Structure 1
Amino acid sequence: MASTGSSRAAWPAGTQRGPARFWAVDLHVHTPASRDVDSHTYGASEPRQIVDAAIDAGLHAIAVTDHNTAGWCDRMAEAARDTTLVVLPGLELSTAEGHLLAIWEEGTPAQHIEDVLVELRVPRTDHGDLHKALDKGFIDTAKVITARGGLAIPAHAEREKGLLRLAVADRINQTLLDDAIGAVEIVDLTEVERIKMRLDGQRELAVVRSSDTTAPGASTHVLRGIGHRRTWIKASRPDLCGLRHALADPALRVRLEEPMASEHTVIESVTVTGGFLDGQQFEFSCDLNCLLGGTGAGKSLLIELVRFTLDQQTDADDFPQVRKEVESRLKYALTSGSTVEVVLTRGHARCLVRRAYFEDGSTQPEFIGDAEQLTGLSGRIAITGFSQGEVIEYARTPVGRMALIDAALDLSEFEIRETDAVSQLNDNGRLIGSLETKIAQARARLETLPEVEKRLEELSGLFDGETIKMQAKWSAEKALFEPVVGIPELKVTARTDNGDKFRVSAAIADNQDLYQRAQTAYTQLREAIETANAQLAQVLLAVNKELVDIRQEWHDRYRQFDHELAEAVNHIDVDNKGLAALRTRLVELQTEKAKLDAQQTQLDDELVPNLATATSYREELIAELIEARKARRRRREDRIKALNKLMGGIVRIKMLSENDDSGYLTELTAIAKGSRLRAPILQLICEESTPVKLVRSFLADDVDGVCEATGAERKHVETLFEYVREKGAIEDFLRMQTLDLHDGLSVEFRKHANDGYVAIERLAHGQKCTAILIIALADGNDPLIIDQPEDALHAPWIEEYLVAKLRDLRGSRQYIFATRSPGLVVSADAEMIITLTSDANNGVVEATGSLERHDLNTLALYHLEGGPVPFKRRTVKLGSSML
């Protein structure tokens, strides 16, 4: 790396290390080198025995801290060389005020530690002397230790020869506040709060527990006590480097009780084959992961690859522009056939998800392993993801924001109920539309009935009464028999083309038997359909032939009656009054009346009752649709209540029921096009009514009800209803009742506890993003993946809201951020940092690990601050504000 400026030379390949995790350590271990160890009761005489005991106790690191001597440090290091145990050399010093642990990095030779003892005026001949006390107190001794690369920790502070036993309280407090003191060791957990009270917020000093190689009931050092008291530190590795970083941020990195294993879903790794990140594998921590790198290095791409593989991409309907940009990025960075594998875990469950990318249509995700334990009812593994710029899109509209609530909810049961109700309502709408049309046509035809009856009455007086009656009966039968023929072709239909898909060889050889069974089932269905249709065709042919014969026989009989009637009329018309022509007109009128009577009967007995039944049933369907949406709303409201509690009053969210009537206005405008109703009138109706109520009034022809509810003029409502019927748009009008006036989310934000809430619409860009991110952080335990969450955020707010929240929530959820924010990486203390670099063709992993590793620290400084020189400049120029 260049030594000056903000640019850099070619970086050496960084060491690939795992994320920071919790390690069990015992920082106060005595060996036979301590003169108060009784070789007969201690339990070990060789270093390897101690190493094995520590490993058996579940320890990952120990510090060798014999009294005033480093005599066994080298031997212990050698004994642990081929094991997993980290051995930190050190000693327990008897200062003028009490006992102090001094610990150095692994590999530090005992000679160096002994030289420090000499510097502290302990001659080599007195090394190991239990009664040899230094002439310096805790602070002065600790300064020498830290100056020589060591870590100073007052031992068993509340016990004999401990720091808290000092007679002068001010001296205790002074020591606890001195930077040379790296931590303080206690025996009893109750001392933690007392030490915090002493510090009074002036310093965040780590408190640790160690065994002192003692055990309950034992009065001396015994090996079986190793790890009896222990501390868990979070680091990439439990060496002194990791220990220092842990002690520097004890709230996140130090635990005095064993941390609980993560129970949330964790993205363990991502492997890419093909494209810009070909051959790269990414390992993640179960906590906070930060992706660093220059523009075009692949940070954002990795975020999108995870979302793509898990089929959790930005919704194209909600945010089309963001989705378009994502698709463009994938198209540019992936070759056709590229695959991405994501390994996820939750508890003991483990699942690999694989998906291949193809520009003309990617495959569906393939699940291997414990998929059922990691996927929900939707068949997908839930994550919460935000692409670059997507956060602000959620802030723009109340309906868009609702997706934040829905992301953690299973609403499938309501979607199924809603879809089913809408489908039935659409079928019902078609039926009502058809019945309304038939009723209107029938009533239009029946308007001629009075005139027909009048003409019949005039003609009937010219003929014999019995003749008229008989003629009327034949006319009535004519209306019945004429239309009986010509039943259309009937066929049983069912989709069987899916069966063709199983005629190919199985993609999975072991599933060939299932392909064969599916093919056989479809074949049976096709054969049954063909048989049924053949039988139907035969029966239909016979029935139609019989109906033709029946009609012909009726016509023959009618002609006979007509012939007889004609002769009778000729016999009567001796004066040549033209009764034959009048009889023809009489027959026509009788036939017309018969048809109209049949129409009236159909109207009264069939059409009107069917319409009433269909309308009544529609109300049942509407009630089911409304209840499904209300039930969904109640589930959302329950989650909103929980979220408001979790957000601690910083952000407050409320449900806005049926908040979006834009679709309603669009549909009504389209239906009313050509009616000459002006836009303000339609807008008034939409604003003051709902689609359900408007259509209900239409079906009941309740014009006054609409006028009263909306304030619209009667002539306008009448025009609308009449136009719907005249245009034949009844079905479209009824379909409006199924419109979802989507629920929205009101978001309010306040900077400080004493401030009032401000609606998100009135917030600045950065404030909007902050509010949305606080909601995203507040709830759920599914992985949260965000591309540059700091975009547009005011720097202090990153610390005050995001960093503070991330620190509070640590251990409950996995976070993966592509970021340039020092606050998110450093202040929030990322367990796993992945830096990426690239050339013109490919992106590669530069280094991985936690911030305490030197190479990651150096790379983080470059990517976050521009390198050491600009960082030093800012430190010098802004440092005075820290005084």
Structure 2
Amino acid sequence: MKRQKPRTLPHHRIQRLRIVGGFLDGLDISFADGLNCIIGPRGAGKTTILEIIRFALDAMPGREGDPLRKRIESVVTSNLDGGRVELMVETKDGQIYKIIRSPGEPPIVLDAGGEPLPGVKVRGGRLFQADILSQNQMESIAENPHYQLDLIDKFSDGELVGIDGEISATQGQLESNARELLPLLARQAALVTETKELPSVEAKLKGMQQTAGPNAEAINAGHAHRALREREVMAIDEVRRMCAEAVKSVTSAKNRLGTEIDSLINAEITGGPNGARMQRIAEAMHGAIREFDRLLDEAVIALRVGGKTLVAEKEGLEQDHIRQETAFRQLLDKHKEAQTCSTARTMEEKRRNELIFKQRELADVTRQVAQLDDERRSHLGHLSSLFDKRFQIRHEIATTLTDDLAPSIRVTVRQCGDRDAYRAHLETVFRVPTIKGGIVARKVAEALPPQELVQMVRKGDGQAIAEACGLNSNQAEAVISILSQPQNLFALELVEMHDAPSIELSDRGEFRDSSALSTGQKCTAILPILLFDSVNPLLIDQPEDNLDNSYVFETVVQSIRKVKAGRQMIFITHNPNIPVLGEASMVFVMDSNRTQGGVSRSGDVDKCKRDIVTILEGGEEAFMARKERYNY
């Protein structure tokens, strides 16, 4: 972000607002470029206009559950009263879109000709961004790091929107990866435990071979062949099982698709206003399914042909086995001394065969785990690079703001500086009676970032954790024991430490964080950033709140004059300095009869002069009385 002079390049614009239904039914406003001011008595619907524009753009503040977001949703729902809002916008690239939205519904986006644009979303600012602040929201920004990050991110011209989308997608891939890995790891652990028995079983068999007597070679060969015969049967049964599962899966897919399509695209839908199109969709899908079924039938036939060959060969193999087993028994009959341990040896060979098959399964599971581990490391590396890229953009924005707003305002961003979510996650995980979870979580969160902690846990390095976090050995071992569980380790890898912004105001030469300032100082710290050059329209409800008139004139009005040639602004105001001295391009005068609100007059400052004097100056008599009092 590099900018020294006011923007004269193209920028986003809100062209027109129409409201159908509710308190402002019939409202139709065409906004000008530059400064637009909305004035009027309380209860005329001024604030409602701003919140309805925010609603149309799906640009609600904060995160889910934010109190301000809930309040705005309530205001919009009650004022629209089942109606709708239509918003015409023009992007900096000259593209014009119409956005239509009703309460409880997502925005509908149309092109300039009124044709719908399926798949085009408003949410997230990919299509169009505006900076919108409700009344007193500047104070909230000064106090809330999340709001401050949102404010900084607005200056990225949409670049961070794409990065945030990539971050969400990568986090989703990691969650999917964990869902695949967890059952495989559990199975791998069980197989590792079971197959540990294999060396002892083989040692027993070796001892039995050594005590087979003078005919050991023939008897050992007979037992080895008997064990091999059992593995042959096991191998065939496993192949049959795999083929049967494949046929079952194919048949299930074949029988399910057509039925599900018919249940979704049913007679009610095909009988509706879009029935012809829906019928064509259903017919096209049924045609595709018929071809799909044909190919599946061929696949099933191929498996069944192979199955018949398998059955025939197995019958022949069983006959071979019977002959071979008979010969082996005859051998044992000749050597009575070998019969004594034959049963025990057979049981051990059977167990060895089972373990060999489990060892084969273990190798397959281990291969899958290794593949998923590689994928996970790749996703984690990509996620880390995205976090770095996002921080770098935020850092550059903060530097530009600081340089331009010096010496009164300083903006910084500390990478991964917000550890609240990380600490809260650890407190939840460490909620066990053996350790003081809250204390341990706080110490660990303050000392080690998640990825460094993950590496120490994987290594089982309790001493390093204890030294880094100031824990005793029992606490460090408990941390490893808890976090080494795969589900906890995977969750820890996904814990995000947000960047920590800081907006500071110079107070008598000393910078103070915005959260520690008085209400008026908070607005003094935030408003210049909002008025900074940007391609986004700026909408503020009463920017003069908590500011004295000298500051409004010297800072707010001067900033408006500086940027209005290259940025659209829509202000709701009760201060005459803003429209008059800011030389508003358009003034909209609102009024209401308590049940219906609307625009009673609109135009430039000269056309709306009498309304400005009446509403903002207290009337001509009050204005003249002040003039006489001041003796100007």
User: Is 2:289 the partner of 1:526?
Assistant: yes
Q: Which residue of 1 aligns with 2:111?
A: 367
Q: Which residue of 2 aligns with 1:801?
A: 555
Q: SS of the residue aligned with 1:490?
A: helix
Q: Which residue of 2 aligns with 1:836?
A: 590
Supply the AA of the counterpart residue of 1:467: I
Q: Which residue of 2 aligns with 1:353?
A: 98
CA drift of 1:803 comes to 2.3
Q: Which residue of 2 aligns with 1:441?
A: 190
Whole-angstrom distance in 1 between the partners of 2:207 and 2:311: 36
The answer for unaligned runs of 5 or more in structure 2 is 1-6
Task: Quickly say closer, same or farther: Cα 1:369–1:326, change in 2 above 3 A.
Answer: same
Q: SS of the residue aligned with 2:249?
A: coil
For residues 86-107 of structure 1, the C-alpha deviation after alignment (integer angstroms, 9 at most, x for no partner) is xxxxxxxxxxxxxxxxxxxxxx
Whole-angstrom distance in 2 between the partners of 1:724 and 1:470: 51
Q: Which residue of 2 aligns with 1:787?
A: 541
Whole-angstrom distance in 2 between the partners of 1:347 and 1:673: 52
8 Å Cα contact 2:141/2:148 also seen in 1:
yes
Q: SS of the residue aligned with 1:745?
A: strand
Supply the AA of the counterpart residue of 1:446: T
Within 5 Å, give how 1:433-472 maps onto structure 2: 433-460=182-209, 461-462=211-212, 464-465=215-216, 466-472=218-224
Whole-angstrom distance in 2 between the partners of 1:424 and 1:477: 45
Supply the AA of the counterpart residue of 2:504: E
RMSD across aligned C-alpha pairs, in angstroms?
A: 3.8
For residues 496-525 of structure 1, the C-alpha deviation after alignment (integer angstroms, 9 at most, x for no partner) is 97996797599899xx88x78866654454
Whole-angstrom distance in 2 between the partners of 1:723 and 1:399: 30
Q: Which residue of 2 aligns with 1:325?
A: 71
CA drift of 1:354 comes to 4.0
Q: Which residue of 1 aligns with 2:506?
A: 750
Q: SS of the residue aligned with 2:341?
A: helix
CA drift of 1:784 comes to 0.6
Supply the AA of the counterpart residue of 1:408: F
Task: Quickly say closer, same or farther: Cα 1:387–1:531, change in 2 above 3 A.
Answer: farther
Within 5 Å, give how 1:405-804 maps onto structure 2: 405-409=152-156, 410=158, 411-460=160-209, 461-462=211-212, 464-465=215-216, 466-479=218-231, 481-482=233-234, 483-484=237-238, 485-487=240-242, 488=245, 489-491=248-250, 522-544=285-307, 546-547=309-310, 554-573=317-336, 580=339, 582-600=341-359, 603=362, 606=364, 608=366, 611-612=369-370, 614-674=372-432, 676-679=434-437, 680-723=439-482, 729-750=485-506, 755-804=509-558
Whole-angstrom distance in 1 between the partners of 2:128 and 2:393: 21
For residues 316-363 of structure 1, the C-alpha deviation after alignment (integer angstroms, 9 at most, x for no partner) is 626721121111111111132x23333345799473514141x44254
Supply the AA of the counterpart residue of 2:292: I
Q: Which residue of 2 aligns with 1:298?
A: 45
Whole-angstrom distance in 1 between the partners of 2:302 and 2:564: 75
Q: Which residue of 1 aligns with 2:88?
A: 343
8 Å Cα contact 2:540/2:571 also seen in 1:
yes
Query: Relative contact order (C-alpha < 8 Å, sep 6+): which is higher?
Result: 2
Q: Which residue of 2 aligns with 1:849?
A: 603
8 Å Cα contact 1:341/1:352 also seen in 2:
no
Whole-angstrom distance in 2 between the partners of 1:420 and 1:390: 31
Q: SS of the residue aligned with 2:498?
A: coil
Q: TM-score, normalised by structure 1?
A: 0.61
Whole-angstrom distance in 2 between the partners of 1:351 and 1:782: 15
The answer for unaligned runs of 5 or more in structure 1 is 1-259
Whole-angstrom distance in 1 between the partners of 2:492 and 2:182: 13
Q: SS of the residue aligned with 2:299?
A: helix
Q: SS of the residue aligned with 1:757?
A: strand
Supply the AA of the counterpart residue of 2:18: T
Q: SS of the residue aligned with 1:785?
A: strand
Task: Quickly say closer, same or farther: Cα 1:446–1:721, change in 2 above 3 A.
Answer: farther
Q: SS of the residue aligned with 1:429?
A: helix
Q: SS of the residue aligned with 2:600?
A: strand
Supply the AA of the counterpart residue of 1:351: I
Q: SS of the residue aligned with 1:811?
A: coil
Supply the AA of the counterpart residue of 2:399: K
Query: How many pairs were matched up?
Result: 602
Q: SS of the residue aligned with 1:778?
A: coil
Whole-angstrom distance in 2 between the partners of 1:849 and 1:265: 22
CA drift of 1:607 comes to 5.0
CA drift of 1:467 comes to 1.6
Q: Which residue of 1 aligns with 2:4?
A: none
Task: Quickly say closer, same or farther: Cα 1:519–1:449, change in 2 above 3 A.
Answer: closer
8 Å Cα contact 1:299/1:818 also seen in 2:
yes
CA drift of 1:481 comes to 3.2
Task: Quickly say closer, same or farther: Cα 1:695–1:802, change in 2 above 3 A.
Answer: same
Q: Which residue of 2 aligns with 1:863?
A: 615
For residues 701-731 of structure 1, the C-alpha deviation after alignment (integer angstroms, 9 at most, x for no partner) is 4445544544444443433443456xxx514
8 Å Cα contact 1:289/1:816 also seen in 2:
yes
CA drift of 1:403 comes to 0.8
8 Å Cα contact 1:339/1:354 also seen in 2:
no
For residues 255-306 of structure 1, the C-alpha deviation after alignment (integer angstroms, 9 at most, x for no partner) is xxxxx99843333332222221112222333121111122221101111222
The range that moved more, 834-843 or 701-710, is 701-710
8 Å Cα contact 1:351/1:370 also seen in 2:
no
8 Å Cα contact 2:91/2:128 also seen in 1:
no
CA drift of 1:686 comes to 2.5
Q: Which residue of 2 aligns with 1:84?
A: none
Q: SS of the residue aligned with 1:830?
A: coil
Whole-angstrom distance in 2 between the partners of 1:874 and 1:318: 48
Q: SS of the residue aligned with 1:326?
A: helix
Q: TM-score, normalised by structure 2?
A: 0.83
For residues 105-147 of structure 1, the C-alpha deviation after alignment (integer angstroms, 9 at most, x for no partner) is xxxxxxxxxxxxxxxxxxxxxxxxxxxxxxxxxxxxxxxxxxx
8 Å Cα contact 1:269/1:283 also seen in 2:
yes
Supply the AA of the counterpart residue of 2:409: V
For residues 40-76 of structure 1, the C-alpha deviation after alignment (integer angstroms, 9 at most, x for no partner) is xxxxxxxxxxxxxxxxxxxxxxxxxxxxxxxxxxxxx
Q: Which residue of 2 aligns with 1:57?
A: none
The range that moved more, 316-325 or 494-503, is 494-503
8 Å Cα contact 1:322/1:389 also seen in 2:
no
Q: Structure 2 residue aligned with 1:313, among 55, 59, 62?
A: 59
The higher radius of gyration belongs to: 1
For residues 125-179 of structure 1, the C-alpha deviation after alignment (integer angstroms, 9 at most, x for no partner) is xxxxxxxxxxxxxxxxxxxxxxxxxxxxxxxxxxxxxxxxxxxxxxxxxxxxxxx
8 Å Cα contact 2:212/2:220 also seen in 1:
no
CA drift of 1:654 comes to 1.0
Task: Quickly say closer, same or farther: Cα 1:543–1:413, change in 2 above 3 A.
Answer: farther
Identity among equivalent pairs (%) = 21
Whole-angstrom distance in 2 between the partners of 1:622 and 1:347: 35
The range that moved more, 678-687 or 560-569, is 560-569
Supply the AA of the counterpart residue of 1:306: I
Q: SS of the residue aligned with 2:515?
A: helix
Whole-angstrom distance in 1 between the partners of 2:189 and 2:491: 20
Whole-angstrom distance in 2 between the partners of 1:821 and 1:363: 34
8 Å Cα contact 1:262/1:286 also seen in 2:
no
Q: SS of the residue aligned with 2:224?
A: helix
Supply the AA of the counterpart residue of 2:509: D
Whole-angstrom distance in 2 between the partners of 1:590 and 1:521: 58
Whole-angstrom distance in 2 between the partners of 1:428 and 1:348: 39
